[in-house]
A = this chain, B = another copy of it.
Amino acid sequence: MAPITSAIHDQALAPVITHIDHVGIAVPDLDQAVDFYRRAFGVQVVHEEINEEQGVREAMLAVGDGFIQLLAPLRADSPIGRFLERQGPGIQQVAFGVDDVQDAARRLRAAGVRMLYEEAKTGTAGSLVNFAHPKDCGGVLIELVQAGGGH
């Protein structure tokens, strides 16, 4: 990212997020959803994984430099399972790319936003992630993603 000279002097104006990394969509059946996005939008799976801790099976489909992330629950009491139970399938989160997830979390906390994790955790494909609390972000679950080597 090119530095913006006028913003360098004002921490509050320095950009924190660099791009839209992905949109996360909760789906009841991962294979069915992947098939739909392939057929309708011509997008392809570039990464798939199971995260037992989060209780989720997920697929990343490339759209330009970003991704559609399809999220299916491994069990009903997982975050995605509860999301589906509460509001049905649909967009669950947006993820923004950051250069340094710890720096970005500090900046968000300074703006009064609670983060879900004290320290960043390993996310999709070896990335480092943290989440801003939706109650502090107008109802939006916002993930911060510092790229790993996995995509």
Contacts and interface: CB of A to CB of B under 8 A. Distances in A.
A91 B89 contact: no
A73 to B, nearest CB: 14
Question: In the complex this chain forms, how many copies of it are found?
Answer: 2
A57 to B, nearest CB: 15
Nearest to A95: B23
A89 to B, nearest CB: 4
B39 A138 contact: no
Nearest to A66: B20
Interface of A is mostly: mixed
A148 interface: no
A65 to B, nearest CB: 7
A94 interface: yes
Interface residues of A, number: 45
Nearest to A96: B63
A91 B88 contact: no
Give 5 nearest A-B pairs by CB, closest first. Answer: A19-B64, A90-B139, A40-B111, A15-B42, A89-B139
Interface of A: 7, 12-20, 22-23, 25, 27, 33, 36, 38-43, 63-66, 87-91, 93-94, 96-97, 107-108, 111, 113, 132, 134, 137-140
